[in-house]
Amino acid sequence: MKFYLFFIILICLSHTSHSKLLSSQEIADICHSDDDIYLVDIFKHRKPTLGYQQDKDHKNDIDLDGDGLPDVMHGDFVAKVFELNQRPLKTYGIKNFGKSGIQGALGDLRHYIRIKQIKKPAAIILALSQSYSLEKIAIELLGNQNAPITMSNIDNYAEQIIAGIKETLGDHHSLYSFYRDVKDLEKLGVPVVIAAGNDYSTTINLASLMGATSIGALDLNGEVAAYSNENLYVNIYRPGDYISRELPGGIDINNDGIVDFESSLLTGQTKLKDWVSNNQPQILSISEAQTKLKESFLIESNDFHQFTGVSDQAILSQYDQTYGDVVHYPSNMSFFKQPDGTLVFNPAKDNSSDQVAINSGTSFAIGSLCN
């Protein structure tokens, strides 16, 4: 009896979720179809097709003009990136990325599809990242700190991890409800596409092992971006780095000479690149950064010759107190040290003077889905 049970368990464990990942061809078919693609995100500047438009006094999170002060919300930026690829987009606005936000959005969309209030969309895309280290998965979700789990065999444990989420965090937790939503939408024939996560491949985005297709980011050289998660759940990559260039009238993010965000949206204070060239910025190690968050300084990054700019408006989330590291987003104003000791901001590597900021992330790679 034990022997049979062992085989039944083995069969369950060997079940992989790979087959549900969309292929490049399926993504192309989605992009070329006449069906809608819905982006679930937070919008403030743009009025979403469905859902909630964030209040005017809600703090923005994307800095477009490089002064360290955010100008628009995440969803405003992702939708803009998407539309620069000439693919129409519908949007569902949420208040936050917490439980009620995603769960409410996917629940509403599922309901509207079922009752035929909206036409079945070609895909739903969103940037849900719930990162767990292998150690945390083993201890908290598998209940066994010695579980022989690795980045390459994790899919063998997917079912157990999902069961662990239900058991440990509860079936109302955002992760478990996301899993149920993905399964329900799959039954309705609607794939869910997510950002792979910006964790430098050190952790796993648990949303990736739930049957959603994860999109990783490419850098400006067309290589997998350093920050992008790269693991067995990520089979599609898209450009994730967008340089802001200052033009008369606003900011251009795709270097076509056409303004994408008008000046009226921008905070327009001293640009970090100007501040750096006019001051002798204090260079701190990551461990020293926490106490200086209210001041302007540069953090020495892992790359010896690279420094990450932090302005006095930098938000505390840039410093991850648990791990003592600076999280990738939104601290991505990277300066490089020249042989003469000066620091330059030159992400385009063309020395152009109109570069003022760069926004990078796998969220923006989902914006580039139909690139």
> Using CB under 5 A, which of 41, 61, 67, 76 touches Ca ion?
67
Smallest distance, Ca ion to C-beta of residue 370, A: 16
H helix intervals, 232-335: 272-278, 286-289
Residues of the chain by 3-state class (helix, strand, coil), percent to 5:
30, 20, 45
Pairing of the two strands 306-310 and 297-300: antiparallel
> Using CB under 5 A, which of 49, 85, 131, 254 touches Ca ion?
254
C-beta of residue 209 within 8 angstroms of C-beta of residue 128: no
H helix intervals, the chain: 2-14, 24-32, 74-83, 99-114, 134-136, 158-169, 174-187, 272-278, 286-289, 362-367
The number of helix segments (H) and strand segments (E) in the chain equals 10, 20
C-beta of residue 243 within 8 angstroms of C-beta of residue 347: yes
Beta carbons within 10 angstroms of residue 215's beta carbon: 28
Residue 258 touches Ca ion, criterion: CB under 5 A: yes
Smallest distance, Ca ion to C-beta of residue 101, A: 25
Part of the chain binding Ca ion (CB under 5 A), chosen from 29-37, 151-159, 242-250, 253-261:
253-261
Q: Which is nearer to Ca ion, 67 or 246 (CB)?
A: 67
Part of the chain binding Ca ion (CB under 5 A), chosen from 74-82, 173-181, 218-226, 248-256:
248-256
Part of the chain binding Ca ion (CB under 5 A), chosen from 60-68, 86-94, 178-186, 281-289:
60-68
Stretch (H or E) spanning 193 = strand 192-195
> Using CB under 5 A, which of 260, 281, 289, 358 touches Ca ion?
260
> Using CB under 5 A, which of 65, 76, 181, 300 touches Ca ion?
65
> Using CB under 5 A, which of 267, 277, 290, 371 touches Ca ion?
267
Residue of minimal Cβ distance to Ca ion: 267
DSSP 8-state symbol, 84:
T
Q: Which is nearer to Ca ion, 61 or 71 (CB)?
A: 71
C-beta of residue 359 within 8 angstroms of C-beta of residue 217: no
Part of the chain binding Ca ion (CB under 5 A), chosen from 44-52, 55-63, 182-190, 208-216:
55-63
> Using CB under 5 A, which of 63, 181, 199, 246 touches Ca ion?
63
Q: Tokens 């405003």 label which residue?
A: 76
Six token digits for residue 279: 């001051």
> Using CB under 5 A, which of 223, 256, 303, 320 touches Ca ion?
256
Residue 71 touches Ca ion, criterion: CB under 5 A: yes
- Quote the CA–CA distance of 127 and 232 in Å, as a whole number: 18
Contacts of 256 (CB under 8 A, 6+ apart): 84
Binding to Ca ion by CB under 5 A, coded x per residue (else -) over 125-164, reads: ----------------------------------------
Burial annotation 317-347 (CB, 10 A radius, 16+ → b, else e): ebbeeeeebbebbbbbbbbebeeeeebebbb
Instruction: State the number of binding residues for Ca ion (CB under 5 A).
Output: 11
Smallest distance, Ca ion to C-beta of residue 313, A: 9
Smallest distance, Ca ion to C-beta of residue 227, A: 21
Smallest distance, Ca ion to C-beta of residue 67, A: 4
Residue 246 touches Ca ion, criterion: CB under 5 A: no
Smallest distance, Ca ion to C-beta of residue 45, A: 13
C-beta of residue 134 within 8 angstroms of C-beta of residue 151: yes
Smallest distance, Ca ion to C-beta of residue 23, A: 30
Find the binding residues for Ca ion in span 103-122 (CB under 5 A): none
Find the binding residues for Ca ion in span 169-208 (CB under 5 A): none
> Using CB under 5 A, which of 252, 289, 298, 299 touches Ca ion?
252
- Quote the CA–CA distance of 334 and 345 in Å, as a whole number: 7
Q: Which is nearer to Ca ion, 28 or 258 (CB)?
A: 258
Could you list the residues that contact Ca ion (CB under 5 A)? 63, 65, 67, 69, 71, 252, 254, 256, 258, 260, 267
